[in-house]
């Protein structure tokens, strides 16, 4: 079974500092990987995804993530945090085979940005 | 373009009352449909998913049920709500056989009192 581990349920950074949110996955087949963001009392919004091709993927709002197969990781980064980045972030994985209709989500990381 | 509608946005219901939450998708056909619940500090819990009309898979046995009476309509129901049913309910859709991921609705905040 697939699983997703997000290290750190709460990450706090200063405005302008680097944002690094960690995600490790386990999958028996080549994965599709996703990062979602959720603002309070809203649904989840797709930030970026990796399916095939370039392992460094860029998303909305200046975020990017790198798929590292050898480390089974898909960490999310942003060079300079903005106050508007404060939200909860979810990493998710599915397999690239025929059963890819089910995403497995991590437990989420709450990002706080301090002025 | 595809859109997903979920309502109501908030709901306060007494224990023992029935529940019906509705989700509809526009601009696509034969989507996969999903119901998730978020309880405080517990991440996302998949409740039900459907890959076609009348096809419902339950992930967690509990006080809830789901139905898909039409291709792009997904309904979450309960005959008698429990306090533990409180939470934030999210509907989502995806395309079959792609790596597009899910698109989520805006959610329903359910408080059972």
Interface of B with A in 57-96 (CB under 8 A): 88, 90, 92, 94, 96
User: Measured between beta carbons, which residues in chain B are less than 8 angstroms from residue A41?
Assistant: 88, 107, 109
pLDDT in tens, A58-94: 999 999 999 999 999 999 999 999 999 999 999 999 8
Among B8, B89, B99, pick the best mutation site for testing chain A contact (most A Cβ within 10 A).
B99
Interface of B with A in 12-41 (CB under 8 A): 32
pLDDT in tens, A4-52: 999 999 999 999 999 999 999 987 777 889 999 999 889 999 999 998 8
pLDDT in tens, B20-45: 999 999 998 899 999 999 987 678 88
Burial A43-75 (b: 16+ CB within 10 A, else e): bbebbbbbbeeeeebebeeebbbebeeeeebbb
The single-letter DSSP state of residue B97 is T
Minimum-distance CB partner of B101 among A41, A49, A107: A49
pLDDT in tens, B42-79: 788 899 999 999 899 988 867 899 999 999 999 999 99
The secondary structure of chain B, three-state, reads: CCEEEEECCEEEECCCCCEEEEEEEECCCCCEEEEEEECCCCCEEEEEEEEECCEEEECCCCCCEEEEEECCEEEEEECCCCHHHCEEEEEEEECCCCCCCCEECCCEEEEEC
DSSP bridge pairs for A36: A46, A90
For B91, nearest residue in chain A (alpha carbons): A43
CA distance B104 to chain A (A): 6
What is the model's pLDDT at position A112? Answer: 97
Say whether B101 and A92 touch across the interface (CB within 8 A).
yes
């Amino acid at each position: 079974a697939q699983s997703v581990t997000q290290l750190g349920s709460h990450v706090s950074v200063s405005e302008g500092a680097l944002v690094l949110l960690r995600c490790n996955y386990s999958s028996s087949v080549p994965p599709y990987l996703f990062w979602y963001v959720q603002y309070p009392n809203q649904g989840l919004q797709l930030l970026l995804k990796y399916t095939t091709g370039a392992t460094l993927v860029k998303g909305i709002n200046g975020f990017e993530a790198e798929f590292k197969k050898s480390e089974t990781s898909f960490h999310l980064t942003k060079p300079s945090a903005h106050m508007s980045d404060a939200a909860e972030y979810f990493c998710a994985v599915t397999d690239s085979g025929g059963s890819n209709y089910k995403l497995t989500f991590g437990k989420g990381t709450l990002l706080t940005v301090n002025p | 373009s595809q859109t997903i509608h979920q309502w109501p946005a908030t709901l306060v219901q007494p224990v023992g009352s029935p529940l019906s939450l509705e989700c509809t998708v526009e601009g696509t056909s034969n989507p996969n449909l999903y119901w998730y619940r978020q309880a405080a500090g517990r991440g996302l819990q998949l409740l039900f998913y459907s890959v076609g009309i009348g096809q419902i898979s339950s992930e967690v046995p509990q006080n809830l049920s789901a139905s898909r009476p039409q291709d792009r309509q997904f309904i979450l129901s309960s005959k008698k709500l429990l306090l533990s049913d409180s939470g934030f309910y999210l509907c989502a859709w995806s395309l079959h056989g792609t790596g597009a991921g899910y698109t989520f609705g805006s959610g329903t905040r359910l408080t059972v009192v």
